[in-house]
A and B are shown apart, each in its own frame.
Chain A
Amino acid sequence: MSTPAGNDPLNLADLAEFRAKAELAIKSTKSLEDLKAVRINHAGDKSPIALANRAIAKLPAADKAKAGALIGEVREFINQLLNEQLQRLTVARNMEIIESERVDISLAVDQTRPGAIHPLTTVMNRISDIFIAMGYEVADGPEAEAEWFNFDALNIPANHPARSMQDTFYVNDKNSGVVLRTQTSPVQIRTLLNRELPIYIISPGKVFRSDELDQTHTPVFHQVEGLVVDKGIGMPHLKGTINHFAKTMFGEDVKTRLRPSYFPFTEPSAEIDIFFNGKWIEWGGCGVVNPKVLQGVGIDTDVYSGFAFGMGIERTLMFRNGVTDMRDMVEGDIRFSQMFGVIS
């Protein structure tokens, strides 16, 4: 090795030595930290090659270009090696970090169920959405209701079986004139009294009948009723609406059937059957609003007529979703709601 080493930019042997040492040092690095030190030693301000470069200034003008080319070539070589090694070591370092951070992702697949909305709520929401999309609005009313709204105004005479103690919960005493509504129909009467015609509403909600809880009965259940009052409304519009409702709710293949029936507040009246999962199922009741009901709230039945329909939500959930025991819906066992999440 010449002394002082590296000071002669034209000493080819020195340059070759710098080059060989740098190459060996760079290629021997095992980490980014090593590389950082090697870079300082072999390409830094005080590295032999930097010193040789600085010495060019002292050379005769005729030699400067040649020396510059020689040193430039070596510097180029070392820098390229450094960059290649930097890339190699960075990849290796990242691989190592990632490997060290590897987890068992299956642990995060916890078996715990999240929160949920009760499926009766989501069924009612779904029904509301269908009718909102058809231009209806959603109406509600009190659950403890004046008997007049629940019975009289709906053309249910005083001695109708539905009024007897077996079916109706009376508030306070049997003659108080206040009951827990046995149907959501009192909302229809309130709507007829409070809203401008024409009326297109549905009223989902809780209703009460004094039946003991068992697999297929519950004293507190939910209904949705629909009411339309407009000019020239009849059974065809009812049928069209029920068909659309059923198809939206149960799929295009569902069939519906109207069967003559009796309700005091509709005439003609019908039962709604749907053909679902291979059999006819009774879904609800409907009919043309009895003109007596409309007249009772001051509507001119020569001009206006209407239709109404109603169905049980528990029942709908039972056959639509295959719930086999009504008690599951009312006992508040979280596992029941959790089955459904926020949909049904």
Chain B
Amino acid sequence: MKVPISWINEFVQFSDQLEVEAIVSAFIQLGFEVEEIDYVGQGISGPIVIGRVTAIEELSEFKKPIRYCQVDVGASNGGIRGIVCGATNFKVGDLVITALPGAELPGGFKIAQRETYGHISDGMICSLREIGIGEDHSGIFVLDGNFEIGTDAISTLDLLDVVLDLAVLPDRGYALSIRGLARELAIATKGTFVDPASLHEAFPKSKTGGVAAAISAKDDCQSLVLTTLKNVNSTAVTPWYIQRRLLLAGMRSISIAVDITNYIMLETGQPLHAFDKSKISGSIEIRYSNANEEIETLDHVLRVLGNNELVVADKSKGLSLAGIMGGASSEVTASTSNLVIEAAHFSAEKTSETARRHILSSEASRRFERGVDPQLPAIASNYAVKLLIEHAGAEVVGRNAVIGKEKMQTIAFNLDQLQVISGINFEKENLQRILNDLGCQIIDYDNFVVQIPSWRPDLLTTNDLAEEILRISGYDQIPSVLIGGQIGKGYSLPQRLERQLKPLLAAKGFVEILNYPFVSQEDIDLAFSEGFYTVDDLVKIANPLSEKEPFLRPSLLPGLFAAAKRNLGRNNLDLAVFESGTVFTNQKVQSASKSKISTPPSASELAQLDAMIPQQQKSLAILMIGKKITNPALTNLEAWQWSDAISTGVEIMKLLNLSFEVVAGTAMPWHPGRCAEFWIGDQLVGIAGELHPRVIEGFELPARAIAIEMNFDYLLENGVAVVPAEPLLMMPVAKEDLAIVVTDSVPAGAVLKSIRAAGGTLLEQARVFDVYKGEQVPVGHKSLAISLRFRAPDRTLTTEEVSAVKTDILKQLEKEFAAKLRI
């Protein structure tokens, strides 16, 4: 909210005049962020005076209309001066703000006598923007009112001020007014506060005629005050002091009636609305809307209402969206002479609901949503009538009001709880002073029962009052106490394992990146076989940032592909990237049941909530493209190949001490002949290999890119918490080599698995060290050279023992794979 300090100062008396810095720091302490400090008129200096236009000569020989004017700036300023002006929105006799040679305008613009358009221009006639108030530069500013020619405009028109733009928190509706902010400032600076609401008599409750008032929507409208006026001069010019304050607060001057309602809203916090009475039929009622009822609001949007919205209506139609925006059908115009001023109290909940439904926020709705003082309608409407009589010649026809009974909110202030919350032992007198300053009254000293003022509907509990007490005393008074020494169990096993694994991935040259989880159907279809993920398998966002990417990723790989593409575009050509993050599948989301969750929620309600959310799993994926990162000066740059993906998967499993098996797989997005599946028992936990050529082409990746994706949750949750140790065997090792011939289709892994089973406890290690095809090996066959290491825990193995095991192994291989010993 933009607040001219001069306006606040009208209602706060300080013992000493406060510096702007002191006011700013007081507001910050109170919880109002100062977003901007605008020194209005900074740099302005005279002579700037009020002048009267006495003659206008139109100069038509230029590209745009130019006027050569005679302006009377008073005898003491040299009488009548000739001034060239580019604006045309004034006439002879108008009062204008005239900057004379020697003057300086805000922004360092110096005025001097100069020759222009064939005349000597002896000063300048100013627009509002030129004197630093508001942004209006559509023409020069024409003054209205009783001003003496030649008087100093800077002091007469109050051209110097400081405007603070304060951020008002959503629970502080009262602070969206000069009234609320002045009270706060007075408390913080120990000034004396004069309540602007106390300066105007409350409206009498009696009905005295004019348009009748009724409330049928009693739950959402507490009070309605209507004043009917006649003979209103709608073209009367708004007095300068009102215009100036509206402009400084960031509002335009529109018409006398609208300006006055806005002015009172800013000062008191009570939104008001003016209707053209001639456009209303019969009485005014606050009622709920009917479904599909239509109202064209002042912004000329036709609003189709739902059932149960709050409207201000006459006998035949809805006139306005109550508390949000007036309607076009009853808008006040220049020809309006009969007015109805509405001052009402609408509920925060209903205003907020309707404003959100129509995505329509206004000055009025912002206030009602945050809570307006329910005592204000009667006061503010009287204030408005007073100003309309004074400045627009209005006459009161009659007044009608429905004033609801006010509920007095009280809080039994729990002082023990205050002590716990604040850590401060407040004296009761001190508390009472702060509470009184805030407008609270203590109605029971023994139990410290506090009555809350009408403008603070946000205060409901001891905690709310505690915040007020601390806010006024200063948060810096709160002591600092460090608690610790709680008995924590440290990181959980999955957290520990993830923490330990990631640096090892980095040590392998992999770079962690964090992608958005949003993905397009197109990319999913490209990465996986079309139809692999149906819409039912995927989780969709109702309001995605990009309509192209409405899905949550079922896999990390499409995100890594896209990131790789971005890197390639920036000439990062060789890279290995990894990500650990959530993947979303198996959408179970059903519309929530509308039944309210109990307090506290029951086990079945919690189960129901958990059943609603999609299946989510932490995944780990790695993508390697281009060359391995090695040094071209020392070694050949070697490209990543299919086996690197698989061996990386194996390393991860081994680092986590997991027992696993690897078998050939065919899943997308991998190359069906170069894809390995990692299994733990009957759980598929990961897939690794070279990417499918179609995927590589589709995502514009370099050929032979490789990737891994693993079910990280499963790996981490099934990690070994305590690794059982085995003694190291110290007896000599017996080494044997074996060369066997098998058909091409027999995987080396299967042969090794079989060797390990047949080798028993004496076989320590079996590795393939060569694969040979060619001479001496039949077509369709391959020769596997395998090294074997045997060792016993307690003795040196004899040659006989070793060859016995080797024979067992060969027999097993022959039986299982028809393997032949290669001679």
Q: Which residues of A are interface residues toward B (Cβ below 8 A)?
A: 107-108, 110, 112, 114-118, 120-121, 125, 128, 132, 134-138, 142-149, 152-153, 157-161, 164-165, 169-178, 180, 193, 198, 200, 206, 210, 212, 219-220, 228, 230, 232-237, 239-241, 243-244, 257-262, 267-270, 288, 290-292, 295-298, 305, 329-335, 337-338, 341-342
Q: For residue B612, which residues in chain A have a CB less than 8 angstroms away from its CB?
A: 146, 176-178
B200 at the interface (CB under 8 A from A): no
- Most chain B CB within 10 A, of A117, A128, A297, is at A117
The answer on a CB contact under 8 Å between A114 and B567 is: no
Quick one: closest A residue to B575, CB to CB?
Answer: A334
Closest 7 CB pairs of A and B: A177-B592, A260-B31, A332-B563, A298-B600, A268-B467, A236-B423, A135-B486
Q: Please name all residues of chain B whose beta carbon is closer than 8 Å to the beta carbon of A159 when the two chains form the complex.
A: 349, 352-353, 356
In contact, A177 and B591 (Cβ under 8 angstroms): yes
What is the CB-to-nearest-CB distance from A219 to chain B, in angstroms, rounded to a whole number? 6
Contact A170/B542 with A115-B510, A143-B582, A342-B503 known, Cβ cut-off 8 Å: yes
Q: A137-B489, A161-B170, A171-B542 are in contact. List 18 more A-B contacts (CB 8 A).
A: A108-B631, A110-B631, A136-B488, A138-B495, A142-B613, A143-B584, A152-B597, A157-B349, A165-B543, A169-B542, A235-B421, A236-B479, A243-B480, A260-B31, A268-B466, A270-B475, A297-B600, A335-B570
B440 at the interface (CB under 8 A from A): no
Bound complex: CA A288 to CA B467 (Å): 10
Distance in Å from the Cβ of B584 to the closest Cβ of chain A?
6
- Nearest Cβ distance between residue B166 and chain A, in whole angstroms? 13
- Write the nearest CB–CB distance from A141 to chain B, whole angstroms: 10
CB-CB contacts of B570-584 with A at 8 A, as 1s and 0s? Answer: 101001110001101
A-B contact pairs, 26 of them (CB 8 A): A115-B509, A116-B506, A132-B490, A134-B484, A142-B582, A144-B614, A148-B597, A169-B542, A171-B542, A172-B540, A198-B486, A220-B517, A239-B478, A244-B482, A257-B475, A258-B478, A260-B29, A261-B31, A262-B171, A267-B466, A296-B599, A297-B601, A332-B562, A333-B572, A334-B511, A334-B575
Q: In whole Å, how far is A202's beta carbon from the nearest beta carbon of chain B?
A: 11
Q: Which residue of B lies closest to A175 (CB)?
A: B591
Interface flags, B501-514, vs A, CB<8A=1, else 0: 01101111111111
Q: Cα distance A193–B421 when bound, in Å? A: 23
Contact A332 B513 (CB under 8 A): yes
Known: A114-B507, A143-B616. A173 touches B421 (CB 8 A): no
Q: Tell me if B487 is interfacial: C-beta within 8 Å of chain A.
A: yes
Q: In the assembled complex, which residues on chain B have CB atoms less than 8 Å from the CB atom of A112?
A: 629-631
Look across to chain B and name the residue whose beta carbon is closest to the beta carbon of A231. Answer: B420
Are B609 and A331 touching (Cβ within 8 A)?
no
- Interface-central residue, A174, A270, A295, by most chain B CB under 10 Å: A270
CA distance in complex: A228, B485 (Å): 13
A260 vs B631: C-alpha distance in the bound complex, in angstroms?
57
- Chain B residue at minimum C-beta to C-beta distance from A289: B463
With A115-B509, A178-B612: A173-B463 Cβ-Cβ less than 8 Å: no
CB pair B516 A219 closer than 8 Å? yes
Cβ of B773 within 8 Å of any chain A Cβ, yes or no, is: no
Shortest beta-carbon distance, B541 to chain A, in Å? 5
Q: Which of B505, B506, B597 has the most CB of A within 10 A?
A: B506
Residues on the A chain within 8 Å of B334, using CB = none
> Given A142-B613, A334-B575, do A260 and B511 touch, yes or no (CB 8 Å)?
no
**Do residues A193 and B606 form an inter-chain contact, with CB atoms below 8 A?**
yes
Query: When the two chains form their complex, are residues A115 and B508 in contact, meaning their CB atoms are under 8 A apart?
Result: yes
Q: Contacts A172-B587, A175-B592 given; indicate if A298 touches B599 (C-beta within 8 A).
A: yes
A267 to B616, Cβ gap below 8 A?
no
Question: Contact check: which of B420, B542, B545 meets A212 at CB < 8 Å?
Answer: B545
The residues of A that contact B467 with a CB separation of less than 8 Å are 260, 267-269
Cβ-defined contact, A332 with B577, below 8 A: yes
Q: How far is the CA of A268 from the CA of B488 in the complex (A)?
A: 27
Within 8 A of A (CB), among B554-609: 559-560, 562-563, 566-567, 570, 572, 575-577, 581-582, 584, 587, 589-592, 597, 599-601, 606, 609
Find the B residue at minimum CB distance from A241. Answer: B482
Min CB–CB distance A254 → chain B (angstroms): 14
Q: How far does the Cβ of A10 sit from chain B's closest Cβ, in whole Å?
A: 57
Q: Find chain B residues with CB under 8 A from A120 CB.
A: 514
For A145, what are the chain B residues with a Cβ–Cβ distance below 8 Å?
613
A309 to chain B, nearest CB (A): 13
**Would you give the 0/1 interface string for B420-442, flagging 1 where the beta carbon is closer than 8 Å to chain A?**
11110000000000000000000
**Minimum C-beta distance from B183 to chain A (A):** 15
* Known A200-B486, A210-B545: A338·B511 in contact at CB below 8 Å: yes
Q: Are A332 and B566 in contact (CB under 8 A)?
A: yes
* Cβ-defined contact, A259 with B479, below 8 A: no
B423 touches A117 (CB 8 A): no
Question: Is B235 at the interface (CB under 8 A from chain A)?
Answer: no
The listed residue (B33, B352, B503) touching A117 by CB distance below 8 A is B503
Chain B 345-383 per-residue mask, 1 if CB under 8 angstroms from chain A, else 0: 000010011001001000000000000000000000000
Given contacts A235-B422, A267-B463, A267-B464, contact A117 B541 (CB under 8 A): no
In whole Å, how far is B612's beta carbon from the nearest beta carbon of chain A? Answer: 6
The answer to whether the Cβ of B172 comes within 8 Å of any Cβ in the partner chain is yes
Kindly state whether residue B461 has any CB partner on chain A within 8 Å. yes
In the complex, what residue of chain B is closest to A240 when comparing beta carbons? B482
Q: Does B105 contact A (CB under 8 A)?
A: no
| Contact of A240 with B480 at beta-carbon distance under 8 Å, contacts A159-B352, A291-B463, A332-B513 already known | yes
Assess whether A174 is in contact with B542, with CB atoms less than 8 Å apart: yes
